[in-house]
Structure formats: C-alpha cells, structure tokens
C-alpha cells in the first residue's frame, strides 16, 4: 500500500484576509480523493490554526509574537482548520480525523509507537488523518518549523513513500527569485549537502513560521527515511496527483537507497538531544567508518546534563556527525572521559553510546561513513 503525506502551509490554508482558502483546500481535497480511489493512503499535515484563530480574535490586527498569545490563537483556530478541511473533503464523501501531536509524542518511544498505531488505525478505517501540532498546550516553541519537521516525522510514523510540502513558492530556486532575476528552479536534488542548505536560505511568508530552510531540513529527514520529498506550489492545478505520478513538479528530493531501522530513525530525528560529547579523530573514525560503539577513551569533552537513555549529540573534529542514546549519565561520562577500558575494568562501563543506539548522520571525510 502506497502512503503519501501532504503538508500544507499557513499561506496556502488561509487567505491574506485571514479566512480559510476554500479554493486551495478544495483542489487539494480533489487530489486526495483521486489518490484514495487509486488505493493510496493519504495523511494531511496542516498549518493555519494560528492564522485563522488570530483573525477571529483580532481581525486584521498585526499577529502577536508572544508564545502564549499564539497558543491562545491556535486554540481558537484549530477547530476552524478542521471545519475547513472537512468541508472540502466532504465534497468527495471523505472523512477527516483530527490528530494533534506534540514533542512528547516523539520523545518517548512508547508514545511514539502509540501515535503510529493510531494513525494506522485511522487509515485502515478509511479516514484521512489531519495532523497538526498540539500548539495550545505545548510549553515549548510553538512550531516544528511551520510543521515541516512534523510532516517529515509523520512520514516516518506511517512508513510513507512520498512527502509533499505545499507552499506559496514553486520549489527551491538557485537564488531568492524575489530579488534575483536569474534565479532558476531546481527540479531534482540528489543529495542535500551544505551547498543546498546554503541556497535554501531563510525565505518565509508573512503568515507562516517556517521558510525554505525548514522545508529543506524536513526533506533531509524524509530522504534519510527512504521517502521521496517534493516541495511545490499549492496553487498549481493537480499538484499532488502530478507529483505522485512522476511529473516535473516543483523540486524533488530523491530518497536514499539505504535507510535506517524505525528505531534508529526515531533516535536520529524524533528525539531532541539534551547534551553532547566531543570526541577525537580516532573515535570519530571508529564510529563512522567501522560501525563501532563510542568508547570513553575517545571522548574529550562532555556538555550538558543527561541520564542514561537520553539522546545526545556526538561532535567530532569536523562537527556534529552522530546522535545516540547515552549508556551512562553525564557525571559518569565525565569521570570516564579519556580512559581506556583497562583503566577502569570492573568499575564502570567504557561505552558512552552502544553501537545499537548510535546513528551516524554524515559521511566520514574519506567517504566511507554512512547512516547506520
């Protein structure tokens, strides 16, 4: 069964006047219906709750910046978003189901698996899940990057093959088309490297909270999960159907051939690191090229306070290159730092991160490294 996740940004869900963009939602719902008729499961990740809520509260007044005000606006706007989507889906006898997710749903493994089961059950019932961040009760930043990162994580949850990020631009350009007359659309990206991240810049809309940089970052998560990701313009007729059919639509980011297990994807992308360890070149090579555990002997610095089982980043001579679950708390990591196994045999474990809990994020300088 093919599964597609469609993320629709605030600038596409709403109009400049702060109302639901009926035309855009109707067009997307038509594509969803066509995909469903062809046997494809569809999940929608939607933004727009804050924009619709603030419009209802304050009309055309300037949008606030305070988190608590944005959360209040989200509480007012969330049911308006669902109402708008259900109206559009209802034209095709489809039923939408609201799913609100927060950081805890991704930070705890059992909750993560529960969210996966819930989404799968909705799809099995023939429902179109409509996902948004649980903004109104979140005590952290109001967004997952305008839901771009959330959409990539949802694509992992449901084992999607395609992730389509719909926005108010045609895709990723070689430069900002608003200021560069010679900017051209990049149709295919095979590898998201530093050059691509630099091109993405920080373009953002007036009502959304993300930009092209957050969409490319989401594409990086998606492609590492084996998902083909497309960034395209929401207003383009039949944009979703054409993207799935392989037409030249927006910018397509090719999925990686080798993907991680579901658990390692969770470690790599769903968890937020609470600390880090810095390692020397030998330890970095052992982890990146040889797939070994991270041992205390190669650790040169420990940052942050963490417990065993917490997610931490691993930083080498060339920067961040891995993430993993700590085998020991930070206090023990500090006491073992730089020591070889023989130095503390029988007293403490020498492993800082076991290889089964360790994910390499970038290639080694010699090209032998891989996500594993």
Question: What confidence tens digit (pLDDT) does each residue in 72-92 have?
Answer: 999 999 999 999 999 999 999
> Do β-strands 128-133 and 3-8 pair in parallel, antiparallel, or remain unpaired?
unpaired
State both tokens at 38: 């062809």
pLDDT for res 255 = 93
**What does the pLDDT look like over 139-159, one tens digit per residue?**
554 445 568 999 999 999 999
User: How is 168-197 classified by DSSP, letter by letter?
Assistant: SSSS-BSS-TTT-TT--B--EES---HHHH
pLDDT for res 136 = 65
State both tokens at 95: 């039923």
pTM equals: 0.84
User: How sure is the predictor about 168, in pLDDT bands with cuts at 50, 70 and 90?
Assistant: confident
User: How sure is the predictor about 210, in pLDDT bands with cuts at 50, 70 and 90?
Assistant: low
- Residues whose CB is less than 8 angstroms from the CB of residue 198 and which lie 6 or more positions away in sequence, other chains included: none
End-to-end CA distance of the chain: 26
Closest listed residue to residue 223, CA positions, set 202, 242, 196? 196
Residue 337 Cα distances to 290, 328, 331, angstroms: 21, 12, 10
Provide mean pLDDT across the span 333-358. Answer: 78
> Please, what are the domains in the chain?
3-263 (3.40.1160.10), 273-360 (2.30.130.10)
pLDDT for res 154 = 95
Give the range among 67-71, 122-126, 177-181 with minimum mean pLDDT.
Answer: 177-181
DSSP 126: T
pLDDT for res 318 = 87
pLDDT for res 323 = 96
- Residues whose CB is less than 8 angstroms from the CB of residue 337 and which lie 6 or more positions away in sequence, other chains included: 296, 299, 300, 301, 302
- Residues whose CB is less than 8 angstroms from the CB of residue 55 and which lie 6 or more positions away in sequence, other chains included: 14, 17, 18, 19, 77
Q: Residue 56, CB half-sphere, CA atoms under 13 Å: how many?
A: 19
Closest listed residue to residue 322, CA positions, set 333, 311, 309? 311
The pLDDT of residue 131 is above 90: yes
The pLDDT of residue 207 is above 50: no
pLDDT for res 144 = 57
Helical ranges in 225-343 per DSSP H: 239-244, 262-265, 281-288, 330-336
Quote the strand ranges of the chain, DSSP E. 3-8, 41-46, 96-101, 128-133, 162-167, 188-189, 228-233, 251-253, 275-279, 294-295, 299-303, 311-316, 319-325, 351-353, 358-360
Its sign, for the CA torsion 61, 67, 71, 74, is positive
| Burial readout 67-76 (b: 16 or more C-beta within 10 A, e: otherwise) | eebbbbbbeb
Residue 35 Cα distances to 3, 222, 238, 320, angstroms: 10, 20, 11, 40
Give the range among 86-95, 119-128, 216-225, 259-268 with minimum mean pLDDT.
Answer: 259-268
């Amino acid at each position: 069964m093919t599964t597609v996740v469609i993320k629709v940004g605030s600038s596409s869900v709403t109009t400049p006047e702060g109302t639901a963009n009926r035309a855009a939602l109707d067009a997307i719902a038509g594509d969803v219906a066509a995909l469903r008729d062809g046997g494809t499961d569809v999940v929608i990740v939607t933004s727009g709750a804050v924009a619709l809520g603030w419009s209802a509260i304050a009309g055309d007044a300037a949008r606030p910046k305070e988190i608590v005000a944005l959360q209040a606006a989200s509480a007012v706007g969330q049911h308006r978003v669902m109402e708008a989507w259900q109206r559009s889906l209802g034209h095709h006898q489809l039923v939408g189901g609201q799913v609100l997710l927060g950081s805890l749903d991704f930070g705890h493994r059992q909750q993560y698996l529960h969210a996966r089961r819930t989404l799968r059950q909705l799809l099995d019932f023939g429902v179109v899940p409509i996902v948004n961040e649980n903004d109104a009760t979140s005590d952290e930043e109001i967004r997952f990057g305008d839901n771009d990162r959330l959409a990539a994580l949802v694509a992992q949850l449901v084992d999607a093959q395609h992730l389509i990020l719909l926005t108010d631009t045609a895709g990723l350009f070689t430069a900002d088309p608003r200021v560069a007359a010679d900017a051209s659309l990049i149709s295919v990206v095979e590898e998201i490297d530093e050059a691509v991240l630099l091109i993405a810049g920080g373009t953002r809309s007036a009502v959304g909270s993300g930009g092209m940089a957050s969409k490319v970052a989401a594409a990086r998560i998606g492609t590492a999960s084996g998902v083909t990701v497309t960034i395209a313009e929401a207003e383009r007729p039949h944009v979703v159907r054409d993207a799935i059919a392989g037409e030249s639509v927006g910018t397509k980011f090719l999925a990686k051939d080798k993907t991680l297990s579901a658990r390692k994807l969770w470690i790599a992308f769903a968890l937020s690191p609470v600390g880090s360890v810095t390692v020397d070149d030998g330890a970095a090579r052992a982890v990146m090229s040889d797939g070994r555990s991270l041992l205390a002997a190669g650790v040169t610095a420990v940052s942050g306070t963490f417990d065993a089982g917490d997610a931490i980043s691993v930083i080498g001579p060339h920067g961040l290159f891995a993430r993993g679950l700590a085998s020991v708390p930070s206090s023990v990591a500090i006491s073992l730092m730089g020591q070889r196994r023989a130095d503390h045999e029988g007293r403490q474990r020498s492993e800082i991160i076991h290889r089964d809990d360790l994910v390499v994020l970038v290639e080694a300088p010699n090209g032998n490294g891989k996500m594993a």
